[in-house]
Structure formats: structure tokens, C-alpha cells
Amino acid sequence: MLAKHKSINRKLRKQLKSISQADIVVGIPSFNNYSTIGHVVDSVSAGILNHFPDSTTVIVNSDGGSSDGTPAIVMDRIADKIPTVLVDHPIYTVHKISALPIGIPGKGSAFKTIFRIAEILGAKAVVVIEADLRSISSEWVELLLSPILNNYYDFVSPLYQRHKYDGAITNSIVYPLTRALYGRPVRQPIGGEFAFSGQYVKHLLETVEFDSDIARHGIDIWVTTTAIGSHFRICQSYLGSKVYESARRQTDLSWLLTQVVTSLFYLMEKFESTWWNIDESLPVPEYGKASSASVEPVYVDLEGLVGGFRRGISNLIPVWRKFLGHECIEELEVLSDSSVTSFSFPADLWVRIVYEFALAYHHRVMHPEHLIKSLTPIYLGWNAGFVNKSLNYESEEVEEIIEDICLEFARQKSFLKTRWR
């Protein structure tokens, strides 16, 4: 088996040969996570020993070239009974971007390494945990792995308790668009913590272009969409609140939005035959129980959001005129005259614009990166309207707003289809 994997270096081959086989592989991609990785490893180790003591488990730390001693912490804190594989995986793409990306740069490359190791070891289940978590508990391991090992699911996506303004890109576009297209309401398609069956890992290794920029930086939505689009058995697990080391999550919003939306639009083309005839939403099974865990507050700069939207109106209308309809442009110009406190953004307009961008990407109206970067100020305007609308709402009421957005994406799907081909 090892002979078939020429991408595995000699040192790693030796490690894997000594391990021979594993039932479970836990992957922890990391990049300068000195302050949190110890807690993550402790929680993972406890979860494995408490819930899966009879399974052979290997922990893989795929590190993206940390300079703060992160891998050493992993070795110091790991339980003696659990074999550990350290993979020095320098991320060579950092110099190509202008800002530090969310999580580790080139996260897809880390996934590829973890999946290759799991395939070599014949793992029945693989779970991937982010290294900057502060809220992880040992129960997360059981909640993610049990549906794979005991219920024969192929893919487990997380369900988090989050602040109403946390995960704004997910709430405004990733979740509702994915649900409208594929008919499966996976609430956190880019959540970060996932579990996979060995069969699904093999499929991903055969089909995902891990070396592409889209896969390197959009791997979360890729594995979720592929699971749905390729008809694997999926479910969602309640993990409680997700709290991470916010200092490690600083990134350029335009860069992040561009990476996520580019991945979404690329996958729309890849799975066109899957979503084309879907016109209803089927429930996704859930594992565990929802909690009322406390969440950390999220500060929103409302004036900054509206200001960014207005700057876009001043500078980007000539770009938008190449693919946005005249009525959309007019409505955006009217919105720019609203005061900050009264600013609102109609859901039907937001959805129409997202679909217009998807069509412009599909028909290659302009360079994809330039196209999708120009969505940023419109997204800021939508987010400002969302904040104003939900200012005095509890999280449960905010979910009702998001549900309405999902229904609007579904309602306008016919518009997308009439223009797609």
C-alpha cells in the first residue's frame, strides 16, 4: 500500500509502517496555535480513551510550518496510548495572498495529507478538528465519530450554538444557497469540524483537486457539497458553542468572501446535474441534543458596514453594470442614501444579486477574482440591513429571518435556471 503513495516522504512512511493499521484517524491541521493546541489535544485524547477505548486510533498533526512550537506541544500533551503522526507540511502559498487566511493557510493541503494517511492505515472513520478551539470538549469526539462508526453515516457536519452575528457569510449566502441548490439544510457547511467514513475519504481523494487554489482555501464547503452532491449519507451533530482564538482568525473580509464564494460557484458548475432538478428541501438527520450554551458576543461596526457599501456604490457601479440588471443598480443607489440607523436591505434584492453574480461567474463575464471581490460592498450592505433588522431579536428569532432568506433563495432558483443555460 505504501508503495502506491509516492507523495508520502520516507520519514512518514517509516512512521506509518510501524503503526500498520488504524480504525480512527483524528486530523488536527495547525499553524502557530501554541496557546490552544494543548487543550485541543487533551480533549481529543480524553474523547478517544473515554468513548472508543477498543479502537486503534492515530492522531495526525498536519502542521503548516508553525514557528511557535505548536508540534512540540502536541507531542508533550498526547496520551501515551495513542500513536501520533507529526507531518511538517510547510504552506508555500502564503506569499500569494495579501492577508492571513482564516485558520491555517492552504487548509485543503492539510486535509489531503490527513486523508492519505487514513487511506494507508485503512481507517474506518476520520475526524478533523481545528487547532484554535477554546470550547472543545471530549464529547465532541464522540458526537462526530459515533454517527460514522455506529450509524453508518459517511459525513458528519457540526451544529453550533452561535451568536446571532457570528458566521455572517454562512448565514447570508453559504447556508441558504447550498440548501436551495441541493435541497439539504446543512446548517454549518463551512463549520470546520467534520467526520468522514473511510469510503467517503477514498472518494474525496479520487475526485477533489486538492492542489487547486479553490480546494486549498475552500475545502470546507468542498467536502460538504461533495457529500451532498455525490449522495453520501450525511447527518449533523450538536456540538454546543464554538469559541476559538480570535487573534488567529484575523483576515481580510474581501479575501475570505472571495475564497468562499468562488468555491460555491465553482461547485455549482461541478454539480449542476445534481441540483438542476431539485425543487424541495429534505431534512438532514441530527445527532445529539441542542444546548443552551452561552456564546461570546460579536461586535458589529454598523457605520463601517454602511460606509463600505456606500464606497462600493461610488466606485463599482461601472463594473456591476456589466452583469447586474438596471433595476438592481437603481435599488442599490437608493439604498445608499439611507441613514445608518434606518438602513435596510430587501431579501429579494440580495438573493437576486447573488444569483446574478453566480451567472456572471458561470458565463465568465470577467475575471472571476475581480468579479467576486466586487461583491464585498454589497455584502456589507446586506449585513448592515440584517443587523438593523435583528438588533433586538434573540437568536431563535434571528433563525426565523435566516429561514426566510433560505425560502427566498429557493423561490428565485427558477430565475437562476432560466439564465444558466
Condensed to tens digits (0 to 9), the pLDDT of residues 386-400 reads 999 999 998 889 999
Residue 90: is its pLDDT beyond 60? Answer: no
- pLDDT cut 90: percent of the chain above it: 72
For residue 171, which phi and psi values (nearest 5 degrees)?
-70, -35
Q: What is the pLDDT of residue 94?
A: 26
Looking at per-residue pLDDT, the higher value among 90 and 359 belongs to 359
Using an 8 Å Cβ cutoff, are 158 and 66 in contact? Answer: no
Using an 8 Å Cβ cutoff, are 128 and 114 in contact? Answer: yes
- Structure confidence by residue, pLDDT tens digits, 113-125: 999 999 999 999 9
Q: Mapping DSSP to helix (H, G, I), strand (E, B) and coil, where does residue 91 land?
A: coil
Report the C-alpha dihedral over residues 290, 189, 144, 155, rounded to 10 degrees: 130
Residue 92: is its pLDDT beyond 50? Answer: no
Q: How many residues comprise the chain?
A: 421
Question: How many alpha carbons fall within 13 Å on the CB side of residue 328?
Answer: 19
In the chain, the domains with their CATH numbers are 22-287 (3.90.550.10), 302-420 (no CATH)
Name the average pLDDT for the chain.
90
Q: What is the pLDDT of residue 296?
A: 82
Rounded to whole angstroms, the Cα distance separating 241 from 253 reads 23
- Is this model's pTM higher than 0.85 or not? yes
Residue 4: is its pLDDT beyond 60? Answer: no
Residue 139: is its pLDDT beyond 90? Answer: yes
Residue 6: is its pLDDT beyond 80? Answer: no
Q: Could you tell me the pLDDT band of residue 211, with boundaries at 50, 70 and 90?
A: confident
| Strands (DSSP E) found in 152-298 | 155-161, 194-197, 234-241, 286-287
Residue 98: is its pLDDT beyond 70? Answer: no
Q: Could you tell me the pLDDT band of residue 102, with boundaries at 50, 70 and 90?
A: very low
Q: What is the pLDDT of residue 403?
A: 97
Residue 208: is its pLDDT beyond 60? Answer: yes
Q: What is the pLDDT of residue 7?
A: 56
Q: What is the pLDDT of residue 399?
A: 94
Beta-strand relationship, 155-161 and 234-241 = parallel
- Structure confidence by residue, pLDDT tens digits, 219-276: 999 999 999 999 999 999 999 999 887 655 556 788 899 999 999 999 999 999 999 9
Q: What is the pLDDT of residue 20?
A: 85
- Structure confidence by residue, pLDDT tens digits, 49-75: 999 999 999 999 988 888 889 989 988
